[in-house]
């Protein structure tokens, strides 16, 4: 007997919102610039640049540029888009008179599985687990009006900031001192971590698994659950307001860029000066207060990046770049994992073993090379296939049916 149960049909390519794909591709490439340090240097260097590597001359300038324009900003963009995607999928389900609940929770559960595998088996810095877990929560808010989504989004985002400030005031507590001490590790700890990642895959597990578990538990409950969920809710609101589909006026997007440059960037500059003056982790209080600048200003600069990309999408210039970025964005899951596979092959001991040997100037060249690779191969792949390979696997598992793959 034929199953007549109605099923949600994946969106046809002709109905894709190109600006979302372009912004997603842009965000994914930007995330690589930020992730280059945790891929290639001891973990503490991602939060305390003085912990490892040269910070003079060009290396210092590259760090400042990545911190000012990229750190937390591209993650913010990607998180905004994830929230927008939830609203978009829900709306298309409802257009067909179907419930999106089952499909959504299957998608999130499989994303959690992928994230756990990625974080514990390949690279500890995974964000897929966070997105899957937070996606379970924010789905409940999807039908709210934009003003209420913004209200709850900002409220959620305040919580980690408040927790950091309270921790700074209680900086003499054993737990806070221990957490901050990890950001300024002893030479012995550095040597041990470098040796682990220059070793075999099994030797890497001695550091990778504890770091992944910490991000999946303590960091998730203390920080990511609130920040990531909050920004997803803001993304839902921005999508409903037409901001992410390049539907607002040119002056609106110019205003977003102006706020980023005139308000967000000066706040980040003050934070950089504060942290260098206080030697980054000289005291727990100095560190936990110092991170506040970028925590909040990253939202403003993220909006500025949105404004910039939407202006590009509205213009008639750089069509080749928009097409390439859109292709990268359509294959964001596959390209994200590809970045991990390339970088761990370059830096980890199971392949080239360059962990801890490449300065920030060298990392910039590696990042540029991977950008060129992904901008080149993504459009070529999509000429022959409907989805990226991991997008196809994720869709097939979520819809509980093999999806068409080849064109």
- pLDDT score recorded for residue 179: 66
Kindly state whether residue 334 falls inside one of the protein's structural domains.
no
- pLDDT score recorded for residue 175: 62
pTM for the model? 0.94
Kindly state whether residue 173 falls inside one of the protein's structural domains.
yes
Kindly state whether residue 133 falls inside one of the protein's structural domains.
yes
Kindly state whether residue 374 falls inside one of the protein's structural domains.
no
- pLDDT score recorded for residue 4: 42
Residue 292, CA distances (Å) to 12, 32, 146, 165, 176 in order: 42, 23, 26, 8, 16
- pLDDT score recorded for residue 2: 41
Residue 287, CA distances (Å) to 41, 65, 125, 184, 358 in order: 20, 20, 21, 11, 26
Kindly state whether residue 372 falls inside one of the protein's structural domains.
no
Number of domains in the chain: 1
Instruction: Say if residues 235 and 81 touch (Cβ distance below 8 Å).
Output: yes
Residues of the chain with pLDDT under 70: 1-14, 170-179, 282-284
Kindly state whether residue 12 falls inside one of the protein's structural domains.
no
Kindly state whether residue 363 falls inside one of the protein's structural domains.
no
Token pair of 401 as six digits: 């049916």
Q: What domain range is 292 assigned to?
A: 23-320
pLDDT tens by residue, 22-35: 999 999 999 999 99
- pLDDT score recorded for residue 301: 98
- Angle between helix axes 284-314 and 18-40 (nearest 10 degrees) is 150
Kindly state whether residue 145 falls inside one of the protein's structural domains.
yes
Annotate the chain with three-state secondary structure: CCCCCCCCCCCCHHHCCHHHHHHHHHHHHHHHHHHHHHHHCCHHHHCCHHHCCCCCHHHHHHHHHHHHHCCCHHHHHHHHHHHHHHHHHHHHHHHCCCCCHHHHHHHHHHHHHHHHHHHHHCCCCCCHHHHHHHHHHHHHHCCCCHHHHHHHHHHHHHHHHHHHHHHHHCCCCHHHHHHHHCCCCCHHHHHHHHHHHCCCHHHHHHHHHHHHHHHHCHHHHHHHHHHHHHHHHHHHHHHHCCCCCCCCCHHHHHHHHHHHHHHHHHHHHHHHHHHHHCCCCCCHHHHHHHHHHHHHHHHHHHHHHHHHHHHHHHCCCCHHHHHHHHHHHHCHHHHHHHHHHHHHHHHCCCCCCCCCCCCHHHHHHHHHHHHHHHHHHHHHHHHHECCCHHHHHHHHHHHCCCCCCEC
Residue 377, CA distances (Å) to 29, 74, 325, 394 in order: 14, 22, 11, 21
């Amino acid at each position: 007997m034929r199953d007549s149960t109605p099923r949600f049909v994946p969106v046809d390519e002709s109905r894709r919102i190109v600006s979302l794909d372009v912004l997603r591709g842009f965000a994914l490439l930007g995330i690589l610039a930020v992730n280059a340090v945790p891929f290639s240097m001891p973990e503490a260097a991602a939060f305390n640049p003085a912990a490892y590597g040269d910070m003079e001359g060009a290396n210092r300038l590259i760090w400042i540029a990545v911190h000012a324009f990229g750190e937390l900003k591209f993650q913010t963009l990607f998180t905004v888009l994830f929230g927008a995607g939830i609203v978009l999928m829900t709306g298309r389900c409802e257009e067909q008179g179907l419930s999106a609940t089952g499909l959504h929770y299957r998608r999130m559960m499989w994303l959690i599985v992928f994230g756990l595998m990625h974080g514990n088996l390949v690279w500890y810095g995974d964000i897929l687990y966070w997105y899957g877990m937070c996606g379970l929560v924010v789905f409940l808010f999807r039908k709210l009006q934009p003003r209420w989504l913004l209200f709850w989004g900002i409220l959620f985002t305040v919580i980690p900031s408040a927790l950091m400030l309270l921790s700074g005031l209680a900086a003499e507590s054993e737990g806070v001192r221990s957490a901050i001490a990890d950001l300024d590790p002893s030479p012995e700890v550095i040597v041990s971590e470098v040796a682990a990642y220059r070793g075999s895959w099994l030797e890497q597990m001695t550091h990778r698994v504890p770091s992944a578990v910490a991000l999946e538990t303590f960091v998730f409950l203390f920080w990511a659950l609130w920040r990531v969920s909050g920004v997803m809710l803001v993304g839902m609101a921005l999508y409903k307001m037409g901001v992410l589909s390049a539907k607002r006026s040119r002056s609106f997007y110019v205003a977003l860029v102006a706020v980023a440059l005139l308000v967000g960037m000066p706040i980040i500059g003050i934070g950089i000066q504060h942290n260098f003056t206080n030697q980054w982790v000289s005291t727990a209080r100095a560190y936990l207060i110092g991170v506040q600048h970028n925590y909040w200003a990253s939202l403003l600069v993220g909006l500025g990046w949105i404004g910039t990309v939407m202006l590009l999408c509205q213009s008639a210039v750089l069509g080749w770049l928009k097409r390439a970025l859109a292709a990268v964005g359509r294959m964001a899951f596959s390209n994200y994992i590809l970045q991990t596979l390339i970088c761990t092959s370059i830096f980890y001991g199971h392949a080239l073993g360059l962990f801890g040997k490449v300065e920030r100037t060298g990392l910039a060249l590696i990042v540029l090379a991977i950008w060129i690779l992904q901008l080149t191969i993504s459009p070529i792949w999509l000429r022959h296939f409907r989805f990226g390979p991991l997008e196809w696997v994720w869709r097939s598992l979520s819809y509980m049916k093999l999806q068409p793959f080849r064109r």
